[in-house]
DNA sequence: CTGAAAGCGCTTACAG
DNA sequence: CTGAAAGCGCTTACAG
């Protein structure tokens, strides 16, 4: 049923090596070229990639390890990766780990077993186990979203994002501020973003700022915010992610608190949905799609043993919308 | 650097075939088993899957073709597929086509070239080119989300979804209804869902129902709804998808129309976000995750030449929330 | 430009 | 239980 290179060579009356040369753009006379071309078309022949890979000792697969598939950030990053990979004739392989760190490690070894050429790792944390695995497999790896001295990394400028947001909040006259953050185990989101905020708020001695922690889940944010709003009433809640902001807005709605008149809210990420909800959310936009493209470009460079900066930093951008009240122009306050 | 089965066999002082047998659970004496095991651990040996596949003539890859990565429906379905595949030791390969039909066809042939064992196709339309490709590659295929007589299909019960929604709308006293649908090229969403609605509304002779079309994009829905709301004021807009509903809600907010007091809105899909927004959206929930699991189970059956129903139908479920006003209990109307 | 041969890393009958 | 050999479908020097 399925034709091999031998079948084609026999039918064309040439040697296997000649067919192989034709396939790989080697020197073939015009006459044999036409003969082979014809037979291949006619037989609908496609080379067996496994045999090819077995010989060539490498594949055109790039593996991507993602903690979850159902997140805006992941989707956009993957689309960017896929786009760049495809135009360079690489194939993207995705391994979803469902936030299970053991599965991340496993995925790395699995990819190695499949002789993929490079790995793009979207991880929230980098542990010793990650480092060991990466060292052992001896395959180029790019870490996206987090930074590690021992691995090529691509990150969004979280600290700058925090600064931009912090300054913006101050510029709108907010003085009683709650920052709703996440675990410090996630260095980028839990530490860097917060540092940026703190740095900006340090410029305001008379500010009353407090820091709280919740999880990445919207539903948890709803609960945390509900409790918070019962005890105190800040003028603004600065949330570590857009999802958390969505949860806070929900909690406010449930309590009948109007946004932004009675409470301002902001996020980080720039998810599509933040523009659609009402009021539209003020946030810092991350360029996930571009980050994916860049990560893919970088891994291709590494695979081909070309130099790549140890650290790539992606710009961020404040998007001012409706969820932040301007207290300075409000004569009532 | 990288060890092969020959290296291992030499180091263990046995034949390659014995190592292979050990690897594949064949009969090996306790003594040699231990020897081999030890060497493999020590050398960190992993078999080359290409060589394995080359011999075995098949892979454990299942290819999934998706029109887009950044949609709730796709993500959930993929997660389900991945979950089921993983627990059966298959690997999911994803090909994103960015809604480009040519790329869908290409993806099918690409997968065939890579000798993947089966294909799960999430397509909005099935054309002759699809059918030809599927026939030619001679690999099991499962179509998800659309139905086709010539292919194993798994669909959500769109017609029933439409019926449920239609009846619900009537039961809440709505009589002036606009259905905001999509192109009939998408049979499931464009035709079946609408038919269900029509069927339900047919039970209400004094209803004033009109049918409009928009695209799947939120931004288009915002525009279409804005125009619509300038010309007429239905009591409810029934949207063909949750995303369209989100767009309609946005348009209403922009016009200062209150939901549901002045305008009711519904969707289809049951996206997570519909629960978080305010007011929470009444919708028909589709079980994407379960559909993905089922599709994966089915493709595995087909790959192993076991029988599978030509058509699998997934249940849907009406979720009543806050975006639909109950006109019957409102004394003012 | 073209062909014969060796080999990529495995598995699978076939003997023993 | 174990080993030697053939072969999966390609590619790559090496001759010619």
Q: Find the nucleotide nearest A5 (Cα to C1′).
A: D9
pLDDT of residue B328: 86
| Contact check, Cβ <8 Å, A93/B93 | yes
| A70 part of contact set with chain B, CB < 8 Å | yes
Q: Kindly state the percentage of chain B with pLDDT values over 70.
A: 98
Sorted by sequence, the CB contacts under 8 Å of residue A60 that are 6+ apart come out as: A89, A90, A91, A117
User: Exposure of B57 by Cβ count < 10 A (0-12 exposed, 13-18 middle, 19+ buried)?
Assistant: exposed
| B49 part of contact set with chain A, CB < 8 Å | yes
Q: Write the pLDDT tens digit of every residue in B239-288.
A: 999 999 999 999 999 999 999 999 999 999 999 999 999 899 999 999 99
Place B73 in a pLDDT band, splitting at 50, 70 and 90.
very high
CA distance A108 to A247: 34
| Contact check, Cβ <8 Å, B96/A76 | no
| A235 part of contact set with chain B, CB < 8 Å | no
A163 and A196 in contact (C-beta within 8 Å)? yes
| A227 part of contact set with chain B, CB < 8 Å | no
Whether A140 shows a pLDDT value over 60: the answer reads: yes
pLDDT of residue A331: 52
Q: Please give the domain boundaries of chain B with CATH numbers for all domains.
A: 5-47 (1.10.260.40), 61-156+288-313 (3.40.50.2300), 158-286 (3.40.50.2300)
Q: Write the pLDDT tens digit of every residue in A71-105.
A: 999 999 999 999 999 888 888 989 999 999 999 99
Place A328 in a pLDDT band, splitting at 50, 70 and 90.
confident
- Asked if the Cβ of residue A31 lies within 7 A of any atom of strand C, the reply is yes
pLDDT of residue B109: 86
Residues near chain D strand, CB within 7 A: A 2, 4-6, 16-17, 20-21, 23-24, 45, 47-48, 51-52, 54-56; B 13-18, 21, 26-29, 31-32, 51, 54-55, 57
Comparing CA positions, the residue from B163, B156, B176 lying closest to residue B270 is B156
| A112 part of contact set with chain B, CB < 8 Å | yes
CA distance A172 to A324: 8
Task: Tell me which of B3, B56, B61, B69 to substitute to probe the interface with A (most A C-beta atoms closer than 10 Å).
Answer: B69
pLDDT of residue A112: 82
What average pLDDT score do residues B281-309 get?
A: 95
CA distance A4 to A19: 11
What average pLDDT score do residues A301-315 get?
A: 93
Å between B55 CA and D4 C1'? Answer: 18
Q: Find the nucleotide nearest A4 (Cα to C1′).
A: D9
Q: Please give the model's pTM, rounded to 2 decimal places.
A: 0.89
CB pairs under 8 A between A and B: 98
Place A333 in a pLDDT band, splitting at 50, 70 and 90.
very low
- Asked if the Cβ of residue A53 lies within 7 A of any atom of strand C, the reply is no
More confident residue, A48 or A296: A296
Q: Write the pLDDT tens digit of every residue in A10-25.
A: 888 999 899 999 988 8
Comparing CA positions, the residue from A146, A198, A136, A141 lying closest to residue A170 is A198
Q: Which of A50, A54, A277 sits opposite B277 (nearest CB)?
A: A277
**Which tokens sit at A169?**
């909040």
pLDDT of residue B333: 47
> What mean pLDDT value characterizes chain A?
92
Whether B113 shows a pLDDT value over 80: the answer reads: no
What average pLDDT score do residues B179-206 get?
A: 96
What average pLDDT score do residues B149-174 get?
A: 97
Whether B83 shows a pLDDT value over 90: the answer reads: yes
A305 and A266 in contact (C-beta within 8 Å)? no
Q: Write the pLDDT tens digit of every residue in B215-231.
A: 999 999 999 999 999 99
The values of phi and psi at residue A180, to 5°, are -100, 100
What average pLDDT score do residues A160-173 get?
A: 97
pLDDT of residue B1: 62
CA distance A158 to A194: 8
Task: Tell me which of A47, A59, A87, A114 to substitute to probe the interface with B (most B C-beta atoms closer than 10 Å).
Answer: A114
Q: Kindly state the percentage of chain A with pLDDT values over 90.
A: 72
pLDDT of residue A1: 62
> What mean pLDDT value characterizes chain B?
92
| B93 part of contact set with chain A, CB < 8 Å | yes
The values of phi and psi at residue B237, to 5°, are -115, 115
3-state secondary structure of B155: strand
- DSSP label of A30: H
């Amino acid at each position: 049923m399925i034709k091999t290179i031998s079948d084609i060579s026999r039918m064309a009356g040439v040697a296997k090596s000649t067919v192989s040369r034709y396939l790989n753009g080697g020197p073939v006379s015009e006459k044999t070229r036409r003969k082979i071309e014809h037979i291949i078309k006619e037989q609908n022949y496609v080379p067996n990639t496994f045999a090819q890979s077995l010989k060539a000792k490498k594949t055109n697969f790039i593996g991507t390890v993602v903690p979850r598939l159902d997140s805006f950030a992941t989707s956009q990053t993957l689309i960017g990766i896929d786009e760049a990979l495809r135009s360079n004739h690489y194939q993207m392989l995705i391994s979803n780990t469902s936030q299970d760190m053991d599965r991340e490690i496993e995925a790395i070894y699995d990819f190695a077993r499949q002789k993929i050429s490079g790995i793009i790792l979207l991880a929230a944390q980098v542990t010793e186990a990650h480092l060991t695995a990466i060292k052992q497999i001896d395959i180029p790896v790019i870490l996206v979203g987090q930074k590690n001295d021992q691995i090529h990394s691509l990150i969004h400028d979280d600290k700058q994002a925090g600064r931009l947001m912090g300054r913006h909040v101050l510029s709108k006259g907010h003085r009683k501020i709650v920052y709703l953050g996440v675990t410090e185990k996630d260095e980028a989101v839990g530490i860097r973003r917060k540092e940026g905020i703190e740095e900006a708020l340090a410029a305001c001695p008379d500010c009353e700022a407090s820091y709280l922690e919740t999880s990445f889940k919207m539903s948890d944010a709803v609960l945390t915010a509900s409790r918070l709003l019962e005890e105190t009433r800040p003028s603004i809640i600065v949330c570590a992610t857009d999802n958390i902001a969505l949860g806070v807005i929900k909690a406010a709605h449930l309590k009948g608190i109007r946004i932004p008149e009675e409470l301002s809210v902001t996020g980080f990420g720039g998810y599509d949905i933040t523009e659609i909800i009402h009021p539209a959310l003020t946030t810092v936009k991350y360029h996930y799609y571009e980050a994916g493209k860049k990560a893919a470009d970088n891994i291709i460079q590494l695979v081909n043993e070309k130099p790549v900066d140890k650290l790539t930093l992606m710009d961020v951008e404040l998007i001012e919308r409706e969820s932040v009240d301007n207290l300075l122009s409000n004569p009532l306050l």
